[in-house]
Structure 1
Amino acid sequence: MSAARLSLPLEGRVAAQPTGGVISTPAAFVVSSADRAWAAAAAVPDPEIPCVTVADLGILRSVEIDDHGVAIARVTPTYSGCPAVLAIELAVEAALLDAGFEARIERVIAPAWTTDWITAEGRDKLRAYGIAPPQKASNSVRALFGETQVACPQCGSGETERLSEFGSTACKALYRCTACREPFDYFKCI
């Protein structure tokens, strides 16, 4: 795989000398095209939960540049029936095209996505948005059968109750905090 090297904007560069000297670009300001492609794809927000990106959710598996300069993004759907998977793939492709790449999206179904792939930053973003992030234990029998204690994203109380197994999307359940009385979604553990 060949990797073209591109320079970042002029911030932090040494200016050209009036005597005809060359612009010096520190190594920290040079990024590969694969890094640029990853950054473009990773910034795509999830269409159902726009506070997090596809990278935050862990569904953007990789981005590589092939020998012909095509950015290949690999995406794993959250589950096989996810209605947003095509929208996500099209948005990632559009982001890569907007960044100046030819693009190809590959859907990767194995290994299956798990909520354990959500980044710590993604969990923080969910909480700040008012969605309780999943417990980090997708292989736990308690998590799989909804016996998980869910902390309220508003006040942090563990005194919560499930109102419905399904919330605003199939991957979320509807809860209510008995301390602050606020309803909230819980991103189910998968």
Structure 2
Amino acid sequence: MRPGELIASDRGARASRPDDLHQAWTVLEQVMDPEVPVVSVVDLGIVRALDWANGHLQVTVTPTYSGCPATEVIEQDIRAALEQAGFAEPALKRQLSPAWTTDWISASGRERLRAYGIAAPLGSSNKRSLLGEPQVIACPQCGSSHTEVLSEFGSTACKALYRCCDCREPFDYFKCI
């Protein structure tokens, strides 16, 4: 390294501007989950924090579960969107604790899930179902609460497969975790 050369982590480093964090949140609201493309990473609550350090945007991400196959794709999409918006070399930090919970899904995210045909998680992740208390899952198509579980394993590990007994349509239910 020669005098005056930047080390790799300093490329694009700059002082924070007053609206940087707001702009970054706005950008991230447009980054959609690859498995449910109507819900943003912000609506899912997997972007935990934004900060500015060492001249770069710092993004803390908590995957929906530690083995989620979409985690790397999500992180690449976050990085690409931020770089396209002018944030040079944003630093992403994967944080596994506290573990993500469906409680972190925003109200607009829950509505977008429903409109897409996925029943949003009910209540909180308090695990009352482990005590044998059944949950009534409303059909996202017709609103009926007359539904049944077809399989505890849906199209992804975080969903179960249900069917409405009235309109007969199958649908995914985003499990409380």
| Common fold by TM > 0.5 | yes
TM-score range, shorter chain: 0.7 to 0.9
CA shift at 1:143, angstroms? 6.7
TM-score, with normalisation over the residues of structure 2?
0.86
Structure 1 residues 127 and 67: alpha-carbon distance in aligned structure 2, compared to 1, 3 A threshold = same
Aligned to 2:65: 79
TM alignment of 1:5-154, pairs within 5 A: 5=18, 32-68=19-55, 70-102=56-88, 103-142=90-129, 147-154=134-141
Structure 1 residues 143 and 71: alpha-carbon distance in aligned structure 2, compared to 1, 3 A threshold = farther
Kindly provide the CA deviation profile for residues 57-102 of structure 1, in whole angstroms up to 9, marking residues without a partner as x. 000111222241x111110010111101111111101111000112
CA shift at 1:147, angstroms? 2.9
* Stretches (4+) displaced over 4 A: 143-146
Aligned to 1:26: none
Aligned to 2:17: 4
- Runs (5+) with no aligned partner, structure 1: 6-31
CA RMSD of the aligned region, Å? 1.6
Q: How many residues align?
A: 162
Aligned to 1:182: 169
- Runs (5+) with no aligned partner, structure 2: 1-14
The answer on whether the counterparts of 1:42 and 1:60 sit within 8 Å (CA) in structure 2 is no
If you compute each CA radius of gyration, which structure gives the higher value, 1 or 2? 1
CA shift at 1:40, angstroms? 1.3
- SS of match in other structure, 2:42: helix
CA shift at 1:37, angstroms? 1.5
CA shift at 1:146, angstroms? 8.4
Partner Cα separation in structure 1 for residue 105 and residue 65 of structure 2: 14
